[in-house]
């Protein structure tokens, strides 16, 4: 419950970086200057549980889609009461779901595009509830993390980014050290990366590309590969939640989502007590 509380605080109370920082290059920031609560893009989706009820331990992508749609159209679980913003890839996928829903032709939950150019960070920013819910079953947690992306993002890099981040979150929840988590091709399931190959750009991150790079090579863009790489980079070079969050967002650009991706990993690792009250 402590971990769940920490993640909920990240998504719902504004611990993630200030919205004015997103999509801009600006001097380094040191404090949140926007009201707590609202989150741009698809970060509000991160509070949606992976099954039909918060305590249910089933993975139900159809139910997830319905909740995503309700968030988009009705402001479900939004801190503002409405969808503040939504990514293009997610919106198009939910529009396809909406059409199928209206016609009663729901035969699949895979509404995301497979186009490589749609590999944005829309599915990785909302990932945490899945690995948190299934942390006791690491293999399922990783598998379901990837499947959760298929609802709106089917591009291989987006799916594999979710699998890798899901593995890191599960490892953090199960007590892996910083060094273990950031070790070459880490997985809480021994041999997983050998048996389930990652897309080359994601595998490069899993091999530790973030350890030898600095901005501007590290970029918090909307591209899922760059968004993912910035999270372990910030986690690797800092030793507390706040410092890591600032490091993650300071490269600018799509800073709010980069902070959300970092926060999922760091929240699982540091726990509720490690997240500053402010």
**Has residue 92 been placed in a domain?**
yes
- Other C-beta atoms lying within 10 Å of the C-beta of residue 255: 27
The answer to whether the CB of 80 falls within 8 A of the CB of 110 is no
**Has residue 120 been placed in a domain?**
yes
For 108, left (φ over 0), alpha (ψ -120 to 50), or beta? beta
End-to-end, the C-alpha distance of the chain in Å comes to: 20
Bridge partner residues of 253 (DSSP): 24
Q: Is the peptide bond before 216 cis (omega within 30 degrees of 0)?
A: yes
**Has residue 29 been placed in a domain?**
no
**Has residue 95 been placed in a domain?**
yes
Number of domains in the chain: 1
Task: Return the CATH number at 53.
Answer: 1.10.4080.10
pLDDT digit of tens for each residue in the chain (278 aa)?
334 443 443 333 333 333 333 334 444 544 544 455 555 455 455 555 555 554 456 899 999 999 999 999 999 999 899 998 899 999 999 999 999 999 998 999 999 999 999 999 999 999 999 999 999 999 999 999 999 999 999 999 999 999 999 999 999 999 999 999 999 999 999 999 999 999 999 999 999 999 999 999 999 999 999 999 999 999 999 999 999 999 999 988 899 999 999 999 999 999 999 999 87
The answer to whether the CB of 22 falls within 8 A of the CB of 84 is no
Q: How far apart are CA 49 and CA 60, in angstroms?
A: 9
**Has residue 46 been placed in a domain?**
yes
The answer to whether the CB of 258 falls within 8 A of the CB of 215 is no
Q: Is the peptide bond before 22 cis (omega within 30 degrees of 0)?
A: no
**Has residue 223 been placed in a domain?**
yes
Its pTM stands at: 0.83
**Has residue 148 been placed in a domain?**
yes
Q: How far apart are CA 46 and CA 263, in angstroms?
A: 11
Q: Could you tell me the residue range of the domain that residue 169 belongs to?
A: 2-13+36-274
Residue 113 phi, psi dihedral angles, 5° rounding: -80, 145
Q: How far apart are CA 196 and CA 119, in angstroms?
A: 19
**Has residue 214 been placed in a domain?**
yes
């Amino acid at each position: 419950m402590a971990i769940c509380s920490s993640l909920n605080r990240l998504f719902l109370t504004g611990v993630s970086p200030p919205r004015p920082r997103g999509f801009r290059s600006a001097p380094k920031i040191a404090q949140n200057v926007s009201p707590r609560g609202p989150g741009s893009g698809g970060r509000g989706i991160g509070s949606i549980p992976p099954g039909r009820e918060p305590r249910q331990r089933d993975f139900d992508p159809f139910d997830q889609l319905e909740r995503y749609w309700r968030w988009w159209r009705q402001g479900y679980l939004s801190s503002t009461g409405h969808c503040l913003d939504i990514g293009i890839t997610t919106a198009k996928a939910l529009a396809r779901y909406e059409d199928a829903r209206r016609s009663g032709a729901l035969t699949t939950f895979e509404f995301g595009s497979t186009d490589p150019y749609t590999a944005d960070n829309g599915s990785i920013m909302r990932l945490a509830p899945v690995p948190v819910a299934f942390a006791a079953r690491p293999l399922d947690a990783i598998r379901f993390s990837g499947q959760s992306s298929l609802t709106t993002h089917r591009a291989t890099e987006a799916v594999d980014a979710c699998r890798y981040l899901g593995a890191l979150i599960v490892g953090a929840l199960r007590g892996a050290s910083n060094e273990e988590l950031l070790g070459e091709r880490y997985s809480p399931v021994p041999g997983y990366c050998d048996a389930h190959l990652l897309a080359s750009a994601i595998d490069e991150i899993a091999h530790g590309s973030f350890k030898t790079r600095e901005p501007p090579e590290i970029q918090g863009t909307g591209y899922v590969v760059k968004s993912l790489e910035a999270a372990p980079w910030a986690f690797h070079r800092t030793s507390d939640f706040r410092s890591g969050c600032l490091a993650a967002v300071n490269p600018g650009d799509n800073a709010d989502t980069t902070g959300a991706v970092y926060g999922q990993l760091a929240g699982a690792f540091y726990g509720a007590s490690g997240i500053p009250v402010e």
